[in-house]
Structure 1
């Protein structure tokens, strides 16, 4: 048996584990830090960022990723030190390796992405239509090192959130909200996770992904699985985004894209069912 929402996990209990108040304070803290950072950046010479952007757009994205993830890490680390609570262990949560669990978690993540990615695209399109917003013009300024920067961007965008965001949202926020029950903790922390990203066009996919990650971590008590799922969730999202435009670039491409979409959804549902049955057993 993987686990149950109705049973207490066995494991070392951290007497200084976080509570629901800590969850709220930590969430407000990270929102405040991002707001202050945005305000402070107004006083940074724009030439610095413009030069990076005009040199190579992937280097610009790397800088953005490093900066935002550093802020999340700083909040999670400082709060953990203040509360003397390890976000990766304590209170019945552990960090351990398990090959079968890991493979099943990756399959579940792939199933979610393949099943719901196109729902996510349609929702994003509907939000754009409803709000009347337009996409920001994105110029692909590429340097001779563009391939290296692109590779680093993909790795960093998948790896850093898988560690730092899990520290905050599963290690502090979800664990604290467990004071009001496991289901409540998973659902509310997933909603907070989705809203924190500030992109309503991606709300559905981020919320569903958060639900899956939170559920698996709650059932197994294993933070490694959460980080692994988060890594592959981000990685698969970038792969899907890179593949969809080339497939639809021609009339024949649209037909191929339709077939690929249908196949992806069918396979995704199979993966999703497997993951749900495995972790729900």
Structure 2
């Protein structure tokens, strides 16, 4: 690789990092608005649901079409192998969540606190977002885009990095109290990355992610 090609590769990587951060901000925007204290939202309270829905639709379209352009392979239809990975992913999630609950019962961090605040004030949207929208957005972003943009040729590095970034995003304020929560999210991210690499179908990831989030209403994680 000559210097010119190397420089272009580095620049391409930097631009993808910036683009990924931008996509993450876009994905977070609808929920971020709902974390604003209600007294500050009084001027737009009547139209707030429409604003959030509109932003959610726009965010989805941007992230979805970016994913469609980013994916380096043709999607493989569901088959027996896909269902085996889905079942294995669900079992892995249950084990990881259960062990995390035993080892570190506290999951206090800024991300959890923000979600708790939204659940308190906007319960219906929170339920829809947590069970359905969040898995779709996060799988498109952290598996569909991230894994195709960064180190795709290096399978294991690709999988581990996806898990690490996914984990850190869910527990950014790392401490002794939240370390177990961070580890659980890293492991969950790695499981989802393995499913994506081996099934080559983002819908398999979304299905497993939805089932995991749904289980959170029955198991405190």
Asked whether the two chains share a fold, i.e. TM above 0.5, the reply is yes
Match for residue 69 of structure 2 among 52, 68, 86:
86
Match of 2:3 in 1: none
Higher relative contact order (CA 8 A, sep 6+): 1
Match for residue 162 of structure 2 among 178, 181, 189:
189
Task: Check whether the contact 1:195–1:203 (CA below 8 A) recurs between aligned residues.
Answer: yes
Matches within 5 A, 1:173-212: 173-198=146-171, 201=178, 202-212=181-191
Offset at residue 215 of structure 1 (A): 0.8
Cα 1:211/1:66, change in 2 over 3 Å: farther
Match of 2:17 in 1: 24
CA-based RMSD of the aligned residues comes to 4.6
Task: Check whether the contact 2:89–2:195 (CA below 8 A) recurs between aligned residues.
Answer: no
Offset at residue 20 of structure 1 (A): 4.7
Task: Check whether the contact 1:23–1:173 (CA below 8 A) recurs between aligned residues.
Answer: no
Cα 1:141/1:43, change in 2 over 3 Å: closer
Q: Which of structures 1 and 2 has the bigger CA Rg?
A: 1
Cα 1:91/1:237, change in 2 over 3 Å: same
Match of 1:73 in 2: 60
Task: Check whether the contact 1:213–1:226 (CA below 8 A) recurs between aligned residues.
Answer: yes
Structure 1 residues not aligned, in runs of 5+: 1-18, 53-59, 245-281
Structure 2 residues not aligned, in runs of 5+: 1-11
In structure 2, what is the Cα distance between the partners aligned to 1:153 and 1:40?
Answer: 10
Offset at residue 214 of structure 1 (A): 0.7
Match of 2:84 in 1: 104
TM-score, normalised by the number of residues in structure 2: 0.64
TM-score, normalised by the number of residues in structure 1: 0.52
Offset at residue 103 of structure 1 (A): 3.3
Task: Check whether the contact 1:31–1:196 (CA below 8 A) recurs between aligned residues.
Answer: no
Cα 1:238/1:43, change in 2 over 3 Å: closer
Q: Deviations over 1:41-100 (max 9, x none)?
A: 869852549x89xxxxxxx9x99x9699668536524745xxxx435xx422415222x3
Matched, 1:119 2:99: yes
Match of 2:9 in 1: none
Match for residue 159 of structure 1 among 114, 129, 132:
132
Matched, 1:237 2:210: no
Match of 1:272 in 2: none
Offset at residue 177 of structure 1 (A): 1.4
Task: Check whether the contact 1:193–1:210 (CA below 8 A) recurs between aligned residues.
Answer: yes
